[in-house]
């Protein structure tokens, strides 16, 4: 049961109401960064305090909670956030994407398509996509307000000029409903198309920078590009060595001291479910040994 020393989901009700107001405003203005009074959380910034506050304001006792970090449920960060809400909210937790009602994530969108019953909460380190080219916050807010987004394309232009192609592969900027340019958080650009027209509610929380933004269900999200250098959501050109999936985002992992490598799904739940239903990749045998 819930640890009685805490209010449900750790934050007091007034704080949660403040965060919910920010979330509602964000949902009403898709892609717009809403300032909110970020609270101290019992974990350091950079550990997803923005996402944790959004999750805390979103969770109800009936929810089933899942946390992934780089697609995996079993990393330190994911485990500690999951434990945190088990203790402070007493909610059920799961590693199965389909069973979860609230999913907090860092750096990935699950491979399994989300549904209208689900909320995806992103941890965001730097919410401002214009920050790298325009250091002034006053100026970037004005640029958003007046839709002055030429600078975003200057960044992509520089990419192509230097690398022959758009080299940005994480946190690839998007335009939301033809209006706000938004940083999708450091997900791989492979995940960008999943954001668009998604039935789930997508919420973004940046703790240190005190910003919340959101995509309501079925929002149009377009990755910025040039006519002659169209957006390409590429990934490693290989199937998963464990489950054989050809459509999932892969991590390259080193498997022995001799420099042996293999490609495996970054989404551990997706990979596990595929193997459970009989799919086997080229090195599927290695799985038994692990």
Partner 1 sequence: MTRPYDIATRHRAAGRIARAPDGAMAAGQADLTGTAPLLRVEGLTKRYGTRIGCADVGFDLWPGEVMGIVGESGSGKSTLLNCLAGHLPPDSGQVLFDTRTGGLKDTVTMSEPERRMLGRTDWAFVHQHARDGLRMNVSAGGNVGERLMAVGARHYGTIREAAIDWLGRVEIGADRVDDRPTAFSGGMQQRLQIARNLVTGPRLVFMDEPTGGLDVSVQARLLDLLRGLVREMGLSAIIVTHDLAVVRLLADRLMVMKDGHVVESGLTDQVLDDPQHAYTQLLVSSVLQV
Task: Note the residues at the interface with partner 1 (CB under 8 A).
Answer: 133, 146, 148, 150-151, 153-154, 157-158, 160-162, 226-229
Stated as kind and residue range, the H or E segment containing 141 is helix 137-145
DSSP classification of residue 88: H
Minimum gap (Å) between residue 147 Cβ and partner 1: 9
Contact (Cβ atoms closer than 8 angstroms) between residue 76 and residue 68: no
Instruction: Please say which residue, 162 or 277, places its beta carbon nearer to partner 1.
Output: 162
CB of 137 to partner 1, least distance (A): 17
Beta strands in 28-168 (DSSP E): 34-35, 64-69, 92-93, 102-106, 119-123
Active site residues: 31, 240, 243, 265, 271
Q: Please state the closest distance from residue 154 (CB atom) to partner 1, in A.
A: 5
Between 122 and 172, name the residue whose CB sits nearer to partner 1: 172
Residue 100: exposure state from Cβ atoms within 10 A (0-12, 13-18, ≥19): buried
What is d(CA 85, CA 60) in angstroms, rounded to the nearest whole number? 11
**Closer by beta carbon to partner 1, 62 or else 228:** 228
CA angle 222, 26, 193 (to 5 degrees): 20
Q: Which is nearer to partner 1, 62 or 227 (CB)?
A: 227
In whole angstroms, the minimum distance from the beta carbon of 15 to partner 1 comes to: 35
């Amino acid at each position: 049961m819930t640890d009685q020393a805490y209010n449900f989901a750790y934050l007091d009700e007034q704080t949660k109401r403040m965060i919910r107001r920010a979330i509602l405003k964000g949902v009403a203005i898709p892609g717009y960064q809403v300032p909110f009074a970020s609270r101290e959380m019992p974990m350091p910034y950079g550990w997803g305090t923005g996402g944790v506050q959004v999750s805390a304001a979103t969770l109800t006792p009936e929810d089933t909670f899942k946390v992934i970090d780089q697609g995996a449920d079993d990393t330190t960060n994911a485990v500690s956030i999951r434990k945190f809400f088990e203790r402070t909210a007493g909610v059920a937790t799961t590693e199965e994407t389909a069973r979860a009602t609230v999913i907090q994530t860092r750096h990935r969108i699950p491979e399994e398509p989300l549904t209208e019953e689900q909320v995806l909460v992103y941890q965001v380190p730097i919410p401002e996509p214009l920050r790298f080219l325009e250091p002034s916050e006053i100026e970037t807010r004005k640029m958003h307000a007046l839709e002055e987004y030429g600078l975003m394309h200057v960044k992509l232009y520089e990419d192509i000029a230097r690398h022959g192609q758009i080299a940005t592969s994480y946190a690839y900027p998007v335009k939301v409903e033809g209006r706000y340019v938004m940083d999708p958080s450091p997900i791989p650009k492979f995940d960008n198309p999943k954001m668009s027209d998604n039935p789930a509610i997508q919420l973004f929380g940046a703790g240190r920078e005190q910003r919340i933004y959101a995509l309501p269900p079925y929002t149009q999200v377009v990755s910025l590009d040039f006519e002659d250098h169209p957006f390409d959501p590429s990934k490693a050109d290989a199937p998963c060595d464990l489950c054989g999936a050809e459509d999932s985002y892969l991590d390259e992992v080193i498997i022995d001291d001799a420099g042996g490598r293999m490609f495996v799904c970054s989404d551990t739940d997706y990979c596990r479910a595929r193997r459970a239903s009989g799919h086997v990749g080229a090195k599927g045998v290695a799985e038994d040994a692990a």
